Amino acid sequence: MPLFYPMYQPYVIIVLPAILLSLYAQFKVQSTFQRYLQVPAASGMTGAEVARTLLRRQGLDNVRVEAIPGNLTDHYDPRDRTLRLSQQVFYGNSLAALGVAAHETGHALQHATDYVPLGVRSALVPAANIGSQMGLPLAVFGFFLNSGFMLQLGIVLYSAAVLFQLVTLPVEFNASSRALALLEGHGMLARQEVGGARAVLSAAALTYIAATLAAILQLVRLLLMAGLLGGRRND
């Protein structure tokens, strides 16, 4: 579809820095994770043990912890209160495994304590899904079809996806800071080991920053296209 070739898309260069940052962040998270996967924690606990122990000590016996396939597929699902950890994290006792397990436990704690940004984020999911799938194509088609209405509707829809990315940032940063405090506070990591877990979680945070930057720059680009369309129509 020639319409979507970059050369036909005005201002596409604006998004380039975010694409480069995303590539760097993905490289960084993989390399940092692999590096600290090789460093065992002195406590000898596995990711699953860390998650279950922290949950129990916080009174969250209703949260299940289970293993799932894949690499860096770890997540907490608030719908069925289940913490799913990848094999390397679930069975592993590395600084990387413990950092990720405690981070996901942090999300379960956010859910249990009605942490506001998490609630806002969950509420935005349906709108953000529509916005990220339909907003951009609709806006770009609108631009080429000279339809200000389609372009503006695309921008409104896409804004929901941008908002979702923005709200994701405090949720992720908060889960990581909870994780590091819990690991050290409960004696699961020694002070000198915390740095390794922090490096893994900081690299993961960079991927969220890159995604947010990409979404914001894409929105700026659509707004510039709307200005261009307005100018073209006034000629």
What are phi and psi for residue 54, nearest 5 degrees? -65, -40
Q: How far is the CB of 90 from Zn ion (least distance, A)?
A: 16
Instruction: Give the angle subtended at the CA of 22 by the CAs of 16 and 24, to the nearest 5°.
Output: 105
Q: Active-site residue among 104, 172, 184, 193?
A: 104
Q: How far is the CB of 15 from Zn ion (least distance, A)?
A: 24
Q: By C-beta, is 172 or 193 nearer to Zn ion?
A: 172
Helix (H), strand (E) at residue 154: helix 148-185
Residue 142, Cβ neighbours under 10 Å: how many? 22
Instruction: Give, as ranges, the residues between 27 and 66 that touch Zn ion (CB under 5 A).
Output: none
156 to 195: interface string for Zn ion, x by CB under 5 A: ----------------x--x--------------------
Query: Of 108, 13, 10, 12, whose CA–CA distance to 53 is shortest?
Result: 108
Question: Is 184 assigned a catalytic role?
Answer: no
The two tokens of residue 54 are 């922290």
The two tokens of residue 36 are 């600290």
SS3 content of the chain, % helix, strand, coil (to 5): 75, 5, 20
Q: How far is the CB of 220 from Zn ion (least distance, A)?
A: 26
Number of residues this chain uses to bind Zn ion (CB under 5 A): 2
Q: Which residues does 229 contact at the CB level (< 8 Å), separation at least 6?
A: 142, 143, 146, 148, 151
Q: By C-beta, is 120 or 153 nearer to Zn ion?
A: 120
Q: By C-beta, is 76 or 158 nearer to Zn ion?
A: 76
Q: By C-beta, is 22 or 159 nearer to Zn ion?
A: 22
Q: Which residues does 5 contact at the CB level (< 8 Å), separation at least 6?
A: none
Which residue bears the tokens 């940032």? Answer: 169
Q: By C-beta, is 163 or 175 nearer to Zn ion?
A: 175
Instruction: Give, as ranges, the residues between 84 and 113 that touch Zn ion (CB under 5 A).
Output: none
What is the SS3 assignment for 58?
coil
Q: How far is the CB of 14 from Zn ion (least distance, A)?
A: 28
Query: Of 8, 5, 1, whose CA–CA distance to 225 is shortest?
Result: 8
Q: How far is the CB of 107 from Zn ion (least distance, A)?
A: 6
List residues near Zn ion by CB under 5 A: 172, 175
Catalytic residue positions, numbered: 104
